[in-house]
Structure 1
Amino acid sequence: MLITTAPDGTEVRAMDEGRGPAVLVLHPGLDDGRSWDKVATLLAPRHRVVRLHRRQYRQDLPGPATIQQEVEHVLAAAREIDTPILLVGHSSGAVVALESLVTAPGMFAGAVLYEPPVVIGAPLGGPGGEINIRARRAIAAGRPGRALRIFIRDTVRLPAWMAFLAGVFTALSPRLRPLVPHQIDDNEALDRLGVRLDAYAGIDTPVLLLGGDRSPAHLSERLDALARVLPGAERVVLRGQGHTAHASAPAQVAATIESFATRLTG
């Protein structure tokens, strides 16, 4: 376990395993880093894999967290790790990774960004945040499964049947139920950040943009927008995969990360 302190005095926590060039993983929403267990296990024989428990999803810290507060935790963890560091961000964790690159570009050897839901136009929470408002009402009514169903159907834009199943599973899970309000906090934090493509255009750190060909179309559109402002970025498409390839195809994801890391660090 890696434990250190952020500038504001809050404790930073991360799972720490393996030896070699460092890979710092920023997990997606509704998680604490454990969803990347399989990928971490595959990378650990040749890499030091540090999986940050993102501040937005820490139930022991006051929230909600801003993106900048999350970045402070990322940079605090990075200062404790031997360089070079490959930053890997998944979903909203990839947006935090982008903001970390903007804030401290010289700290990272490169970054793998797996389908970051960057705002490129309309808010993720819909006009006036109406998706988030409906999700908050469901949480207040004691229905976290319904809240997640609203989020997955209307923000992630997965089919209604998939959103329904995810909501039922979450409602029955003692680990996931308490994370649902944090997921909505996360969505609102991304919307408050707004369109940041101009800021990302200044990133000169090597970046690999990762996406699945079965993911919702809007995620590919967001990768396209990033590719236009990061002309040196590489693009890799995971065939037959969607937004959860880290779970469904961990060997493919690990191999992609390891290949990129090897080219960066030799």
Structure 2
Amino acid sequence: MHGSMDRSISFRRVADHLPGRPVVGYDRRGWGRSRSMGGPHVSLETHVDDLCAVLAELDSPSVVVGHSYGALAAMAAAAREPESTAGVVAFEPPVRWLPWWPAADPWEETVSRSSAEGGPEQAARAMLAETLGGAGRLLLARAQPADLAADGASLLAEMADPTVDVPFFDPLDFRTPTVVAAGSLSVPHHREVARRLADLLPHGQFVEIQDARHAAHVSHPQEFAHLIDRLERLDARPDGAY
């Protein structure tokens, strides 16, 4: 499940490193092929509803892999429907209600300032520059202004969603085996929240992908895919010990 300013196709190289495993991905409302389904009426709970509906259609409990906003939705879905979830891989979930999340998120401040200066298109440009660095500049050079404006509108709607600040699950009572990961070069509060969250989970483990930033599924697809192997080893040990 992808994060903001993203779509499911960005996980294609990760799936290439999961031979023999069935992989299901989809574009969340407001993004990619589901862009027309977005809007201010779509909330985090909407995305959790959608994910639970997808899991209900599968033949057996599944590992749910989420990146950023998608990781938060993945954990919320696992808390709601634990019988449908074999495990969770959550890469840098923005669990804003934990005390280690800053009151003023630097990325949100950048996006808000850029939106005020140039609207949704400029907000999208600012977010891609923050998350992708040099690769973001190449993507921006090829992007169409209309597409950036549409993505920027979805980004601003997600950031304005007040339910993102509502605790959707209790980490201390989260029984699904979970690997919480972060990039070693990611912003400090993303790494800190991921590490602290893993410590709180009864069956959690923190994994750091070396030399990776927030978009590790794009820059380090093999290492990202290996997080599922770490999850399976975690699940195989008594009480999630490691």
- Is the TM-score greater than 0.5? yes
Residues 49 and 166 of structure 1: is their aligned pair in 2 closer, same or farther, counting only changes over 3 Å?
same
Residues 103 and 171 of structure 1: is their aligned pair in 2 closer, same or farther, counting only changes over 3 Å?
farther
Shift in Å, 1:67: 0.4
SS at match of 1:30: coil
Deviations 1:118-146 (A, max 9, x none): 113445667xx865543433453xx61x3
| Alignment map for 1:42-191 (pairs within 5 Å) | 42-43=17-18, 45-57=19-31, 58-64=34-40, 65-119=42-96, 120=98, 121-123=101-103, 133-140=112-119, 144=121, 146-151=122-127, 162=133, 166=136, 169-170=139-140, 172-174=142-144, 176-177=147-148, 178-189=150-161
Deviates more, 1:82-91 or 1:171-180: 171-180
SS at match of 2:36: coil
Check the 8 A contact 1:87/1:112 in 2, yes or no. yes
Deviations 1:59-99 (A, max 9, x none): 22141310000011101111111212001010111011121
Whole-Å separation in 2 of the counterparts to 1:42 and 1:198: 31
Shift in Å, 1:256: 2.5
Whole-Å separation in 2 of the counterparts to 1:117 and 1:188: 14
Q: Are residue 238 (structure 1) and residue 209 (structure 2) matched?
A: yes
Deviations 1:150-196 (A, max 9, x none): 4467xx6x69xx38x7367436413851312212222223x532152
Q: What runs of 5+ residues in structure 1 fail to find an aligned partner? A: 1-25
1:227 to 198, 214, 218: 198
Aligned length in residues: 228
Question: TM-score normalized by structure 1?
Answer: 0.73
SS at match of 1:88: strand
Partner of 1:13: none
* Structure (1 or 2) with the greater helix fraction: 2
Shift in Å, 1:259: 4.5
Letter in 1 for 2:151: L
Question: TM-score normalized by structure 2?
Answer: 0.80
Whole-Å separation in 1 of the counterparts to 2:210 and 2:174: 27
Letter in 2 for 1:134: R
Deviations 1:4-28 (A, max 9, x none): xxxxxxxxxxxxxxxxxxxxxx012
Q: What runs of 5+ residues in structure 2 fail to find an aligned partner? A: 237-242
Q: Are residue 255 (structure 1) and residue 226 (structure 2) matched?
A: yes
Whole-Å separation in 1 of the counterparts to 2:211 and 2:112: 34
Partner of 2:239: none
Check the 8 A contact 1:135/1:151 in 2, yes or no. no
Identity, % of aligned positions: 25
SS at match of 2:225: helix
Check the 8 A contact 1:147/1:167 in 2, yes or no. no
* Structure (1 or 2) with the greater strand fraction: 1
Deviations 1:26-78 (A, max 9, x none): 012111211111011221x3211001211242322141310000011101111
1:215 to 186, 205, 219: 186
Whole-Å separation in 1 of the counterparts to 2:217 and 2:123: 24
Check the 8 A contact 1:56/1:186 in 2, yes or no. no
Check the 8 A contact 2:180/2:195 in 1, yes or no. no
Whole-Å separation in 2 of the counterparts to 1:97 and 1:49: 15
- The alignment's C-alpha RMSD in Å is 3.0
SS at match of 1:109: strand
Runs of 4 or more off by more than 6 Å in structure 1?
none
